[in-house]
């Protein structure tokens, strides 16, 4: 009897893999390398580049792909590789770094590939079997099986009603799995792989994925367009240390080519330092105000982003910022 049950479960997982695997993609990401203390690059062109690997889940026939924010948040180029070997380019549509979730757009989807389905919110329970597919250590389209072993709610994000939820699993998750989907046995996505807790860097049975509830909340909340810069939120002490008399603002560390920030002419930094334990790139513009909203803390930064999402085509938005100590202003007419 038990043998028949096990055989049936194995057969269902085999069928699930064949069904969903074509819509799981590899992401080959070229990005700006993390700062190294003491190094100075005198132009953005001299900034070091790095290449990393992640995974993603095709969720629309138009080419939308869900992944983890940390996989693509510094991307200067994204190559999307499907299971049949076909390759295409991608670009970031939006990023929610506080949740570790992002959406990218791929240029071309193979005609035979069907998009994956998101499970309904809260349509899961501790103890159910789950399946993770991704590219751990670059080993393409690897499957691991485990259980949903816990539900972990985070703190409410300032300036919003969103309480991010992570699902814990003992399914094997390693480098390269980040951004890939976790499925229930119906082949529906219940989460997007975020991170692991490990002393060795390898899987120790403590993996965490962004829950499908949170994914629905973000998508339904209209996350808006990726602005294209990597920010560092300054507190009062840090602002004064950088001769920013305003005592607040968002330090622009990197500007991603081809994005809104690049088109508006914002500049990133070129001096790598470490503040506390955090690598920071100094020398870039300091954004002080957007559309009349002053950036003083995390809540105001989130509110500013929400306000931007509410503007319509033809609306004009003003940005006030500091460059080399001088107050400047630039305008954007929404296209």
| 135-176 confidence digits (pLDDT tens) | 888 888 999 999 999 999 988 887 677 889 999 999 988 888
Q: Is 178 assigned a catalytic role? A: yes
Q: Structural domain of residue 184, as residue ranges?
A: 117-220
Over the chain, what is the mean pLDDT?
Answer: 86
Residues 6+ positions from 124 with CB-CB distance below 8 Å: 148, 167, 184, 190, 211, 212
Catalytic residue among 31, 70, 203, 211: 70
Pick the more confident residue, 282 or 180.
180
Residue 273 domain-assigned (yes or no) = yes
Whether residue 13 is found in the same domain as residue 67: yes
Whether residue 44 is predicted with pLDDT greater than 70 in this model: the reply is no
Whether residue 211 is predicted with pLDDT greater than 70 in this model: the reply is yes
Overall average pLDDT of the 288-294 stretch: 90
Q: Which parts of 135-262 are beta strand (E)?
A: 142-153, 165-169, 181-183, 188-196, 207-211, 229-234, 249-255
* Residue 3: pLDDT band with limits 50, 70, 90: low
For residue 96, the cross-strand partners are 101
Position 256 scores a pLDDT of 83
Catalytic residue among 52, 55, 100, 248: 100
Q: Considering the entire predicted model, what is its pTM?
A: 0.83
* Residue 69: pLDDT band with limits 50, 70, 90: very high
Domain's final residue, options 84, 106, 128: 106
pLDDT in tens, 84-142: 999 999 999 888 888 999 999 999 999 999 999 999 999 999 999 999 999 888 888 99
Position 198 scores a pLDDT of 60
How many structural domains does the chain have?
3
Residue 94 domain-assigned (yes or no) = yes
Q: Is 140 assigned a catalytic role? A: no
Residue 44 domain-assigned (yes or no) = yes
Query: Are residues 118 and 101 in contact, defined by beta-carbon separation less than 8 angstroms?
Result: no
Catalytic residue among 31, 52, 142, 178: 178
- The winner for highest mean pLDDT among 53-62, 188-197, 198-207 is 53-62
Q: Smallest Cα–Cα separation from 153: which of 99, 193, 204, 216?
A: 99
Residue 243 domain-assigned (yes or no) = yes
> What is the CATH classification number for the domain harbouring 12?
2.40.10.10
Whether residue 12 is found in the same domain as residue 86: yes
Residue 112 domain-assigned (yes or no) = no
Position 159 scores a pLDDT of 66
Whether residue 10 is found in the same domain as residue 95: yes
Domain's final residue, options 162, 190, 220: 220
Q: Is 297 assigned a catalytic role? A: no
Position 183 scores a pLDDT of 97
Whether residue 74 is predicted with pLDDT greater than 70 in this model: the reply is yes
- Virtual CA dihedral for 60, 64, 67, 73, nearest 10 degrees? -170
Whether residue 8 is predicted with pLDDT greater than 70 in this model: the reply is no
Q: Is 284 helix (H, G, I), strand (E, B) or coil?
A: coil
Q: Is 16 helix (H, G, I), strand (E, B) or coil?
A: helix
Overall average pLDDT of the 264-291 stretch: 86
Residue 179 domain-assigned (yes or no) = yes
């Amino acid at each position: 009897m038990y043998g028949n049950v096990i055989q049936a479960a194995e057969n269902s997982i085999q069928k699930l893999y064949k069904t969903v695997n074509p819509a799981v993609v590899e992401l080959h990401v070229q990005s700006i390398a993390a700062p190294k203390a003491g190094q100075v690059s005198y132009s953005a062109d001299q900034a070091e580049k790095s290449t990393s690997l992640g995974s993603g889940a095709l969720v629309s026939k138009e080419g939308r792909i869900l992944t983890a924010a940390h996989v693509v948040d510094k991307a200067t180029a994204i190559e999307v590789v499907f299971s049949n070997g076909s390759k295409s380019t991608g670009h970031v549509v939006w990023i929610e770094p506080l949740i570790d979730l992002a959406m990218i757009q791929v240029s071309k989807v193979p005609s035979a590939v069907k998009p994956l389905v998101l499970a309904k919110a809260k349509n899961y329970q501790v103890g159910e079997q789950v399946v993770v597919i991704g590219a751990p250590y670059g080993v393409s389209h690897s499957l691991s099986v485990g259980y949903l072993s816990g539900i972990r709610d985070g703190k409410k994000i300032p300036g919003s009603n969103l309480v991010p939820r992570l699902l814990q699993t003992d399914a094997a998750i390693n480098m390269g799995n980040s951004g890939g989907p976790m499925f229930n046995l119906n082949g529906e996505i219940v989460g997007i792989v975020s991170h692991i807790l490990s002393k060795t860097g390898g899987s120790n049975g403590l993996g965490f994925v962004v829950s499908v509830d949170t994914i629905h909340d973000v998508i339904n909340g209209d996350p808006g367009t990726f602005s294209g810069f990597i920010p560092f939120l300054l507190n009062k002490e840090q602002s004064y240390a950088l001769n920013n008399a305003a005592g607040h603002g968002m330090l622009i560390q990197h500007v991603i080519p081809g994005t809104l920030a690049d088109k508006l002419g914002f500049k990133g930094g070129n001096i790598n330092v470490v503040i506390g334990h955090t690598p920071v790139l100094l020398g870039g513009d300091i954004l002080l105000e957007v559309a009349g909203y002053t950036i003083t803390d995390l809540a105001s930064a989130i509110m500013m982003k929400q306000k931007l999402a509410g503007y319509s085509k033809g609306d004009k938005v003003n940005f006030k910022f500091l460059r080399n100590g001088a107050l400047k202003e630039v305008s954007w007419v929404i296209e």
